Amino acid sequence: MSTREQKRILVTGAAGQIGTELVLALRERFPAGDVVAMYRSSPLSPEVAAGGPSAVGDVTDVNAYAQVVAEHNIDTVYHLAAILSVGGEQNPTLCYDVNLNGLRNVLEVAREREQRLFCPSSIAVFGPDTPAVAPQDAPLHPTTMYGVTKVAGEILCDYYFQRYGVDARGLRYPGLISWQAPPGGGTTDYAIAIFHGALQDGSYECFVGPETRLPMMYMQDALAGTLDLMNAPLKALKHHADFNIGAMSFSAQELADAIAARVTGFECRYAPDARQAIADSWPDAVDDSAARDEWGWSPRFGLDEMVDDMLENLRHGLGKE
Ligand code: NAD
Ligand code: AKB
């Protein structure tokens, strides 16, 4: 049960990797006409565009954003618009502007209109001094601008909750693996591109080394966790915008081996580039006991289940069944 009735929902960043699927999941759960997909320049997927209302908007323009919210009488916001880790190192100023000034605009409108808010964080909040299994409450010393904005974003959400009572919640997603929409410029994108390489070319050149181990999650689990956190009673939560959630942890080599066991002749080569340093600054896995204790987090997909499902869906899309 929801803690408050959700009347009209806005998803920012609705053309992105998560937004494309979250909009569809929300439209299954709530009347499709009440879920508004907001995008900026990248187009919405045909399914999202055809399945309910949409709006063009830029979260760094507070007046234009507030107008979208007012026009659609928005009650709950899933704020996914962001610049990810690789894009953030290419343009740190843009990353700061979208991820922090944009979030502040979203929080200000949430405060004025008493909205509920979901704002994802990331394993990018952690830095090289984090233990291999990242604790829930650890010192946060990221080395990317993306990570800096995610740490500050968590703190900003907590500030708006403590000071103004804005019910802002968030998860530190691991690298998310999915097949419906392409990833948006992250360090963990190799764990998706490797599937496309395997099915299209029979090979993949991986931009991190074989020993690189990171926390990862299949999109179906990420969507379920997002909706479950938003449905949790507020009084059950001790944390708000900074929950670790884990599902699986594997090295690039282990992923390549799992694919090779299912795609005859697949070969993975390794050519680490600048993204290796970002991957090396993140933990191998996370301790998600707070999410399990406070709102019942429990993932369904491990490495084998994820690889089977990815290959089945991508083969279907490519007509290679
Ligand atoms: P994405 O890059 O695929 O999508 C982000 C969307 O935001 C894009 O469609 C982009 O056009 C839009 N956008 C950028 N600037 C904007 C602006 N100024 N105004 C409005 N829209 C703008 O990202 P994603 O993977 O869907 O990630 C969504 C959220 O989840 C982000 O906060 C990200 O940090 C977080 N996250 C994602 C992952 C992952 O593996 N995908 C992991 C951890 C955290
Ligand atoms: C990225 O690699 O930038 C994202 C993330 C883990 O936040 N996928």
- CA of 143 from ligand 2 middle (Å) equals 13
* Residue 124 Cβ < 6 Å to ligand 2: yes
3 pLDDT above the threshold of 50? no
Hey, is 141 helix, strand or coil?
coil
> CA geometry: angle at 186 spanning 185 and 188, to 5°?
140
Please tell me the predicted confidence (pLDDT) of residue 11. Answer: 98
The domain that holds 191 is classified in CATH as 3.90.25.10
Q: Scanning the structure block, which residue is given the tokens 């990797």?
A: 17
Q: Is 122 in the pocket of ligand 1 (CB under 6 A)?
A: yes
Q: Are residues 98 and 181 in the same domain?
A: no
The answer, yes or no, to whether any atom of ligand 2 lies below 6 A from the CB of 286, is no
Is 107 found in the same domain as 83? yes
Quick: pLDDT tens for 44-77: 999 999 999 999 999 999 999 999 999 999 999 9
Alpha-carbon gap, residue 48 to 52, rounded angstroms: 7
270 is catalytic: no
- Return the best residue to mutate from 59, 65, 80 for the ligand 1 pocket (most ligand atoms within 8 A of CB): 80
Among residues 228, 244, 260, the one where a domain terminates is 244
- Which secondary-structure segment (H or E) carries 87? helix 85-90
- Regarding whether 207 and 76 lie in a shared domain, the answer is no
Question: Do 202 and 155 belong together in one domain?
Answer: no
Q: Whose CA is nearest to atom 1 of ligand 2?
A: 186
175 lines ligand 2 (CB under 6 A): yes
Predicted TM-score (pTM) of the model is 0.97
Range of the structural domain that residue 170 is part of: 3-174+217-244
109 and 231, same domain (yes or no): yes
Tell me which H or E stretch contains 59.
none
